Amino acid sequence: MTFIYAVLREVRTLLGNCRKPPYTPPAPKGESARTSGCERGLLFRGWGRVKAIFFCNKKMQCKQKSVFFLYLCFMKVGKQAGILVIAVVIMGYLYNMLSGGESVNVNDWLEEEEVEEEQFEDIESTYEDFLPISTTGKVIDHHYYTLSYSEEHEQAEWVAYETDIHRLPKNTERTDNFRQDRDISTGSASLDDYSGSGYDRGHLVPAGDMHFSREAMERSFLMSNISPQDRSFNRGIWRELEEQVRDWTRGYKHLYVVTGPVLTQRAKARIGDNYVAVPRSFYKVLLDYDKPELKAVGFVIPNEESDKPLDTYAISVDEVEELTGLDFFPDLPDDIEEKLEKKYQVGRWPFDEERYRERIFIWNKQ
């Protein structure tokens, strides 16, 4: 079994950046549900290109591409592995021939998939109009988010980005490619700083919000976007808040988000050769600036396990500013800024009680 998985991983590498298409059209009228889409490719589930070439219920016009693939099997993964993969391919073709189906041009399908991802990436970003003021003067633009880096604490004092309902579908998988941020002139924290520390490498901009683009996902793993988080905090209430933000994005379509560690508090500890500060608390500020209902809310949560409901940590943006010493939305018209930041309106930000129970009974115990 280990050998088979090794072969499949090699096939995935050979075929490149394979990913599940964001949408599989329903079966044409008159065609049964069992023959719709590409779901027969369970062996390669989630790898859109492999399914498109070998396992769809289609008569593929890709003989040359298939021959090249078989050649790669022998040249790259060895004779035995090549024979195994070829056997899998033949079974896929036999299934396809027996089940019938309409023809499709694989190249067209792949081009459509790439164009769709580009459309997600090309959604006009406007969060740059709502950036907080940097207290360090080290502002780095990573296209999908912007951060202000604190050399003293070896992490960002804030990161700002936006969520959009059209960017929520998963078009790429999590990479876990943690690496230093070369755009930090003085050098960012390193992966070794966290090794053996007992703290998680906690995302500020969540990887879960970057599934719309491979590049965006990769950039979310830069160490400048990472902060030391208690394991139960990162995998418990912080996760709940990140998922809750995605729920609100589905409901409100678009949100501006600023998040980071509270660096005005004395650090819990310092880790690694770079002396990375372990924050006592983290904050998150949300702004819905789309009419007719403008609203904002803030959160400050201790960097530790919590059994309290998420809404008990909800406060006004003004209160978060007072604690952190930051000015989050300085470019808003003064009258609107004052009104939005002064108070938090509970009824405009509904919380998921079922997710809270899941955190208490499952996530906190992991």
pLDDT tens digits, residue range 58-76? 333 444 444 444 444 445 4
**Rama region for 56: left / alpha / beta (φ>0; ψ in -120 to 50; rest):** beta
Angle among Cα 14, 20, 24 to the nearest 5 degrees reads 135
How many domains, in total, are found in the chain?
2
How much is the pLDDT for 347?
86
Q: Taken in order 203, 209, 211, 213, is the CA torsion positive or negative?
A: negative
Strand-pair category, 103-104 with 59-60: parallel
Minimal CA–CA distance to 132: which of 144, 145, 148? 148
Residue 314 to residue 285: CA distance in whole angstroms: 10
* Residue 203 designated active-site: yes
pLDDT confidence tier of residue 293, bands split at 50, 70 and 90: confident
pLDDT confidence tier of residue 83, bands split at 50, 70 and 90: low
Final residue in a domain of this structure, among 84, 99, 119? 119
Per-residue model confidence as pLDDT tens digits over 232-273: 999 999 999 999 999 999 999 999 999 999 999 999 999 999
Give yes or no: residues 266 and 190 share one domain: yes
How much is the pLDDT for 82?
59
Give yes or no: residues 295 and 182 share one domain: yes
Residue of 142, 153, 203, 254 marked active site: 203
Give yes or no: residues 56 and 106 share one domain: yes
Give yes or no: residues 93 and 130 share one domain: no
Range of the domain at 83: 2-119
Give yes or no: residues 275 and 160 share one domain: yes
How much is the pLDDT for 31?
39
Give yes or no: residues 46 and 129 share one domain: no
Q: Is 110's pLDDT higher than 80?
A: no
Angle among Cα 185, 186, 190 to the nearest 5 degrees reads 105
Neighbours of 103 (CB within 10 A): 8
Give yes or no: residues 139 and 61 share one domain: no
Neighbours of 224 (CB within 10 A): 24
Give yes or no: residues 105 and 147 share one domain: no
Higher pLDDT: 34 or 160? It is 160
Average pLDDT, the chain: 78
Give yes or no: residues 155 and 251 share one domain: yes
Q: Under a CB-based contact definition with an 8 Å cutoff, are residues 276 and 228 in contact?
A: yes
Final residue in a domain of this structure, among 119, 148, 179? 119
Beta bridge partners of residue 104, listed in sequence order: 60
Give yes or no: residues 161 and 175 share one domain: yes
Give yes or no: residues 149 and 265 share one domain: yes
Residue 169, amino acid: P
Q: Is 37's pLDDT higher than 70?
A: no
How much is the pLDDT for 356?
95
Per-residue model confidence as pLDDT tens digits over 151-190: 999 999 999 999 999 999 988 999 999 999 999 999 999 9
How much is the pLDDT for 328?
96
CATH classification of the domain holding 181: 3.40.570.10
Percent of the chain at pLDDT above 90? Answer: 60
Residue 5 to residue 10: CA distance in whole angstroms: 9
Percent of the chain at pLDDT above 70? Answer: 65
Final residue in a domain of this structure, among 103, 119, 135? 119
Instruction: Kindly report whether the global pTM for this prediction surpasses the value 0.85.
Output: no
Give yes or no: residues 349 and 225 share one domain: yes
Tokens of 147: 């951060």
